[in-house]
Amino acid sequence: MRDVAVIGVGCTTFGEKWSSGFRELFVEAGALALEDAQLSGEKIDAMYIGNMSAGRFIEQEHIGALIADYAGLATRHIPSTRVEAACASGGLAFRQAVIAVASGMEDIVVAAGVEKMTDVEPGASTDTLTGAADREWEGFVGATFPGLYAMIATDYMHRYPLTREQLAQVAVKNHYNGARNPIAQYQQEITIDTVMNSTMVAEPLRLFDCSPITDGAAAVIVAPLSRAREFTDTPIRVLASAQASDTITLHDRRDISTLDATVAAGQRAFRMAKLAHKDIDMVEVHDCFSIAEICAVEDLGFCRKGEAGKFTADGETALGGKIPVNTSGGLKACGHPVGATGIKQVYEITQQLRNEAGKRQIDGAEIGMTHNVGGTGATAVVHILRRC
Amino acid sequence: MVGIITYGVYIPRYRIKVEEIAKVWGANASDISGGLGVFEKSVPDLDEDAATIAVEAARNALLRRTIDPKDIGAVYVGSESHPYAVKPTACTVGEAIGATPNMTAADYEFACKAGTAAIQTCMGLVKSEMITYGLAIGSDVSQGAPSDPLEYTAAAGGAAFVIGRDDPIATIHHTCSFTTDTPDFWRREGQDYPRHGGRFTGDPGYFRHVEGASRLLFEQTGKTPKDFTYGVFHQPNAKFPQKVAKTLGFAPEQIKPGLVVPTLGNTYSGASPIGLAATLDIAQPGDTIFVCSFGSGAGGDAFDIEVTDAILSDKFRRDAAPGVLQLLKDPIYLDYARYAVHKGKIVMQL
């Protein structure tokens, strides 16, 4: 296998982008990534596009070809593939691009993610997202994602010493980071009270425990590490790419408060990179709900099971903490255009490793990790990236 | 010069408080009132609809000034809740006030700004000397689906304006509109309740069009907010008009007399017309009034109005009909059950 590097990244701002359609979003992100890599479109060999549900959000399927077309590459007939793994679609698209380059099949490959979610009303988007769970066993009987993660939170809080305030601190910390990220959907800091007094969504999760509905797109370009310096002075090497699956329903899990797919993908990534936890300078985890970040921090092994609440409250996951988590603001504050989130995580880590993260920069960042989850943990994708 | 000859308002006497609605849906009333700036809303009586409200408002207008109804050559009623899909409310109003049969009439719909569109139409007919007087009405028994955020504000009421040339109580110096195809709020044929795009009704809807129409009027007239004594904006809640007024450069005291939504609710087509009427209730000769309505779908109509000496003359009897503040006094409060009956939300066995 060849070593692979990220040579360019681009991302739209995230938010309710009423004046931008699906096509404008991915064209903007792609153009930014090409510009960053100082690359012209004709050098692209292949594309992988993470997208969860354009079919239901904008009634458009055949996304791979559509994007190649609007990228101006249709007449070059490059392979362009849509990748879908619910909210992990972006992370998985990145992994497919890495595999394509590592295998020697392709050289310059775009991994992008895009989701246009605000063209449908909130009830319709909630139902669409429910497709990431088991429709027959969960969706049809009324479960929604806030409901499923609320079950995880309830179980977790019953078994481990997590307080409501500690859970709120996840959102407070992510909003603090989002306020320092120019692409973030929410750029205002909040307090514990903001979370505690917000509308109840599904006990114990309140509005500010939940990631929002977001429009956005992100794109990264990967190439063989051996060729990376043709395009950039600051290539970011992909040290590990790992993926794991689990039961799609929550009730079939061994333990609903532990995402075993995250545990498996994390362990594989660490083995592949030949690194230990102390080597990781920051991690972008999949905080679709505050409880998801608590579980992720533990399941990736950054603290012991049951201790992430205190770990968070003690500031260990904040900027300047032992392991800064979600410097981008995470899904909570940066926003969660589902298919784009996994690519945005790579975008954020790349910015950190290039020392381009501005007010949220981690000093001397060398190695970063991304963690992207589909559903309640039926898919987990983990990558480790390193400054060259 | 074209202007307002007389005006009248009608608001049903019934009210329901935001907290009563919130209680039914398990919502936090203070969050809702705090967010919207609305505390209660008007509710129609069992036998009231957009037509009866329009008639009451028109009659109140005619109480204030003696004009021959036969000289009213046009009646336009703007509403989102015309009782009939086919059969004009405007004919009922024309008949009720004795303006028929030598008149033209039509019902208007442009979400919440059909009433001001009716004023503009009447201005054109008067200016072109096709008619002596035109009657423009905005009237609604607004719809809001149960538990939808709209239910906390959707109210009932209307205002009528007689537009003409001779000795107006307020001259309309200029009007202009800003209109696009923006689907922020809609109701299809046969549906009971409107649907809306949530926050999409804000920036791309209300604010773009109200700011667009307002700035267009300032550009065309060379005037600024400082040139007006008062400002009146469409008021689906209290926050939107306060925010847009601030953005445009109006001071809070300029919009205060016309901001009636906190205790009235959103009367849809009646909203900015009632706001204008409330301002005319206290205006003095020489006062200038800026008005900008908003209708989803979407557009805004802006007006540059100046109050004349006629408002205090013998020809006009401001006190002959109730003012807006008077109509808001002494309400009868309903609980949600009675409110449901009044609004026809309980389906009866036939």
Domain count, chain B: 2
* Measured torsion, CA atoms of residues B92, B96, B99, B102, in degrees rounded to the nearest 10: 40
- Interchain pair B198, A121: CB under 8 A: yes
Domain boundaries, chain A: 4-121+214-236, 136-211+239-387
Q: What is the CATH number of the domain that holds B70?
A: 3.40.47.10
Mean pLDDT of chain B: 97
Say yes or no: do domains A4-121+214-236 and A136-211+239-387 share a fold: yes
Distance CA B251, CA A112 (A): 48
Is residue B67 one of the residues assigned to a domain? yes
Q: Cβ contact (<8 Å) for B200 and A18?
A: yes
Region A60-64 average pLDDT: 97
Q: What is the mean pLDDT of residues A228-234?
A: 96
B198/B249 same-domain check: yes
Query: B133 and B210: one domain?
Result: no
Our CA-based measurement puts residue B197 at a distance from the nearest CA of chain A, in whole angstroms, of 7
DSSP 3-state of A272: helix
Residue B349 lies in a domain: no
pLDDT of amino acid B80: 97
- Are residues B20 and B60 located together in one domain of the fold? yes
HSE value, Cβ hemisphere, 13 Å, CA-based, for B115: 37
Positions of A marked catalytic? 87, 336
| B152 & B218 share domain | no
CB–CB contacts below 8 A, A to B: 13
Indicate the pLDDT class of residue B2, thresholds 50, 70 and 90: very high
Residues of A in contact with B203 (CB under 8 A): 18
CATH of A136-211+239-387, picked from 2.40.160.60, 3.40.50.720, 3.40.47.10, 3.30.70.360, is 3.40.47.10
Q: Are residues B305 and B315 in the same domain?
A: no
- Chain A 141-200, residues with CB within 8 Å of chain B CB atoms: 199
Domain span at B98: 3-169+311-342
Mean pLDDT of A273-280: 98
CA atoms within 13 A on the CB side of B316: 24
CA separation for the pair B37, B263 (Å, rounded):
9
Tell me the pTM. 0.85
How far is B73 from chain A, CA to nearest CA, in Å?
44
Give the model confidence (pLDDT) of A294-343 as tens digits: 999 999 999 999 999 999 999 999 999 999 999 999 999 999 999 999 99
CATH superfamily of A4-121+214-236: Thiolase/Chalcone synthase (3.40.47.10)
Check A122 against B31: CB less than 8 A apart.
no
Distance (Å, rounded) from C-alpha B145 to C-alpha B156? Answer: 15
Q: Which helix (H) or strand (E) holds B94?
A: helix B89-97
In this prediction, residues B88-98 reach a mean pLDDT of 98
Residue B347 domain-assigned?
no
In a domain, B26, yes or no: yes
Per-residue model confidence (pLDDT) at position A122: 86
Kindly state whether residues B204 and B270 are assigned to the same domain: yes
pLDDT higher than threshold 90 for residue A265:
yes
Give the C-alpha separation, A1 to A336, whole Å.
33
| Residue B337 included in any domain | yes
CA B31 to chain centre: 26
Based on the fold, state whether residues B152 and B182 are members of the same structural domain: no
pLDDT tens digits, B282-334: 999 999 999 999 999 999 999 999 999 999 999 999 999 999 999 999 999 99
Whether the bond into B146 is cis, omega within 30 of 0: no
Predicted pLDDT at B324? 98
SS3 content of chain A, % helix, strand, coil (to 5): 40, 20, 40
CB contact under 8 A, A16 and B31: no
B161 & B180 share domain:
no
Task: Confirm or reject contact between B204 and chain A (CB < 8 A).
Answer: yes
- Tokens representing B76 are 């336009």
Question: What digits encode the pLDDT tens for the residues A281-298?
Answer: 999 999 999 999 999 999
pLDDT band at A197 (very low <50, low <70, confident <90, very high): very high
Interface check for A203 against chain B (CB to CB < 8 A): the answer is: no
Record the tokens describing residue B287, joined without a space.
């006062």
pLDDT grade for B349, boundaries at 50, 70 and 90: confident
